[in-house]
Amino acid sequence: MTATQSTAQSPARPGSASDRRRFVKGHGTQNDFVILTDPAADLELTEPTVAALCDRRRGIGADGLLRVVRSAALVERGVLTALPDGVGPDDWFMDYRNADGSIAEMCGNGVRVFAHHLRASGLVADDAFTVGSRAGARPVIVHSHDEVRADVTVEMGQVRLDGESLVRIGDDAYRGAMVDVGNPHLACVVPDMSAADLAAVDFTAGVEIDSQAFPHGANVELVTPPGPVDERGRLPAAMRVFERGVGETRSCGTGLVAAGAAILAAGDQSTGTLCITVPGGRVEVGVRTDGSHLRGPSMLVADGELRAGWDRLPD
Ligand SMILES: N[C@@H](CCC[C@H](N)C(=O)O)C(=O)O
């Protein structure tokens, strides 16, 4: 990862190359991220570099990378051609990359962890603020936080359902709703599927979507039909996810919202609140006619510093 001139031997000063090698590791319901704070977009995040950093053997290991950067800096550096809808030049921008190095428009769990990091590091002093993403502005509320834990709601924007498609997983085919939550999803509510059936699905048998329906790929969710509403009026369900650019992850925030919308649509409803369990925990999803929200935990588990030249292969 090149960050202008290396200052490997000098002490860290704000904005120095050494600062830009500092990272935080965090997760939202075990969807895990490496966070790099790079306000002026000095880092050159190439696909191979991000993939190496997210690799669980060669690098730190994560489902994705979150670069913390000022929105205006991404435009100045040509990473973005223009500010996305509703994003101001001074907003902190979540520059999200999947573990394979590819860019994705949005990451719901990522926004929770990103907001927690901004708040815990003092980069933001309020509990309510806006995070920029390629899918547009994402307002957040940090209900509570300390250095390690937070409870965060993200306003996830409009959910769009647009027809149906199929996915093959091994020898089985599942039909699902094509859902746009800023990024593409195929959310399959599988009739009669129990939580035990869901746990037994083998994603390693191969996951094949229709590339004509999803020319840019898609994230795939398998979801149980909902149970009876809980004491807070929320529909409970369980979900597993196979993410574009990553593989199976233990949670996916945009996928949870897509699953929520698909569950409601399967019951001929377009609005409602759900409590969805994933392998990494549980979150609340709300779908309204004018938007949606995701509420759940964030954990920041470690701070560290990459060594200069970490990404150079041995001779
Ligand atoms: N884990 C994320 C989604 C990350 C992006 C996704 N893999 C894609 O390529 O669209 C989430 O929490 O939403």
Query: For 92-129, how does the pLDDT look when each residue is reduced to its tens digit (9 = 90+)?
Result: 999 999 999 999 999 999 999 999 999 999 999 999 99
Looking from the CA of residue 110, the nearest atom of ligand 1 is: 12
Separation in Å, CA 99 to CA 46, 56, 59, 64, 308: 12, 10, 11, 5, 21
Mean pLDDT of 256-269: 98
**CB of 252 sitting under 6 A from ligand 1:** yes
**Structure ipTM over 0.95, yes or no:** yes
205: DSSP letter? G
User: What CATH superfamily is the domain 160-289?
Assistant: Diaminopimelate Epimerase; Chain A, domain 1 (3.10.310.10)
pLDDT band with cut points at 50, 70 and 90 for residue 13: very low
Q: Where in the chain is the domain with CATH 3.10.310.10?
A: 17-155+299-305, 160-289
User: What pTM value is reported for the model?
Assistant: 0.95
Query: What residues are labeled active site?
Result: 107, 252
Q: Whose CA is nearest to atom 1 of ligand 1?
A: 252
Note the pLDDT of residue 16: 77
State the distance from the centre of ligand 1 to the C-alpha of 245, rounded, in angstroms.
8
Domain 17-155+299-305 CATH class label: alpha beta
Sort 185 into a burial class: Cβ within 10 Å, 0-12 / 13-18 / 19+.
buried
Is 108 among the annotated ligand-binding positions? yes
